[in-house]
Amino acid sequence: MSGSLVFSQFMGGLTTAMFLFLIASGLSLVFGVMRVINFAHGSFYMLGAYLAWQAVQWVQPSGGGFWLAAIFAAVAVGLLGAVVERFLFRYLYGRDELYQLLFTYALVLILGDAAKFLWGVGQLSVSAPPLLSGSVQILGTTQPLYSLFIVVIGPAIAFFGWYALNHTGVGRMVRAAQMDREMLDALGANVGTIYTGMFVFSAFLAGLSGALVTPIESIVPGMDVLIIVQAFIVVVIGGMGSFWGTFWGSVIYGEVLSFGILIFPGFSLFSVFVLMAVILIVRPWGLFGKPL
């Protein structure tokens, strides 16, 4: 195995990983704070992709068009998240897991069909913004600039999230809500607003990652159910509700998938599911999580 092949697989895995981190961090955050496992998170990601495509049709992707479209998609999905949390998720807190899983699955069905209704079943795609459409030579491999951008933006958001969670007033409230909702409520904090805010932020991240994935992957119906299983795997590996766990879980997932293709072609999907099962069996709370 040559060095440049290893490097290019590594970079490919890292790109996958950073996308998954953007998606799974929202899923993990909602689970960590509200104890709800949200199947519809993948649907938010899908809607982000479709909305970005839609916005690009309005403003041509020349210049800053793509970025405007991505921001528009993320904000729109965030707003949808606010509506969903205020009117539906409210009733899920503290319910047993069957209720939560089915409820959010119902949202998957509804949002999936809504997307089919609005945008049809054909494949759609968006071209990369002109600034990042080129590629560079690194260690004898050709790396698209766009992938490098994603590899940079992932850790940047991770760092931002870590800082916000651990060194700001809002982050302190969120951590308190995660530990003891009743106590925070009794101390006079508005837990309902914190929950809505967390949910909107998580939907925003999902919408943003959906928008950012459009130059790399085509937009198709069914991308919601495919991504949510991957996000589950990442969250399970890292530990549900653990922030850095989600980051490293994404990296492990991306690299196992990427090198798995090299070592056992055709069975790389198998290997990530086995990894998920093994982690659940050996350490159900994940590599970085704490036992519930």
Partner 1 sequence: MTTELRTGEAVAPAGGIVRSPAAAVPLRTPLVRRIPWTLLVFIVMATVPWLGSRYDTFLAAQIVIDALFAVSLNLLLGTTGLVSFGHVAYFGVGAYVCGILMKTYGVPFVIAFPAAGLGAALFALVSGYFCVRLIKLYFAMLTLAFSQIVWAICYKWNSVTGGDQGVPEIPYPHLHWMLSLPGCGDLSIGDRFYLLALVLVAVSLAVVHRIVRSPFGRVLTTVRDNPERAAFLGINVRAYQLASFVVAGGFAGLAGALYGIFSRGVFADYVFWSKSAEVIIMAILGGMEFFWGPPVGAAALVWLNQAITDYTQYWPFVLGTILLILLFVFPGGIVGGLVAGFRLIQRVGRRRLSPRHA
Q: Provide the minimum distance between the beta carbon of 244 and partner 1 in the complex, in angstroms, as a whole number.
A: 20
Residues 206-235 within binding reach of partner 1 (CB under 8 A): 225, 229, 232-233
Q: How far is CA 77 from CA 67, 84, 261, in A?
A: 15, 10, 33
Under rule CB under 8 A, residue 103 binds partner 1: yes
Q: Is 262 in the site for partner 1 (CB under 8 A)?
A: no
Residues that contact partner 1, how many (by CB under 8 A): 39
Stretch that binds partner 1, among 57-65, 67-75, 99-107, 166-174 (CB under 8 A): 99-107
**Residue 105 touches partner 1, criterion: CB under 8 A:** yes
Supply the minimum distance, in Å, between the C-beta of residue 119 and partner 1. 13
Whole-angstrom Cα distance, residue 76 to residue 74? Answer: 6
Q: Which of 48, 112, 144, 241 binds partner 1 (CB under 8 A)?
A: 112
Residue closer to partner 1 (CB basis): 128 or 279? 279
Q: Which of 57, 64, 99, 127 binds partner 1 (CB under 8 A)?
A: 99
State yes or no: residue 50 binds partner 1 (CB under 8 A).
Answer: no
* 153 lies in the site for partner 1, by CB under 8 A: no
Using the contact rule CB under 8 A, the part of the chain among 67-75, 156-164, 244-252, 274-282 near partner 1 is: 274-282
Closest to partner 1 by CB, 183 or 274: 274
Binding residues for partner 1, per CB under 8 A? 37, 88, 91, 95-99, 101-103, 105-110, 112-114, 116-117, 225, 229, 232-233, 236, 240, 266-267, 269-270, 273-274, 276-277, 280-281, 284
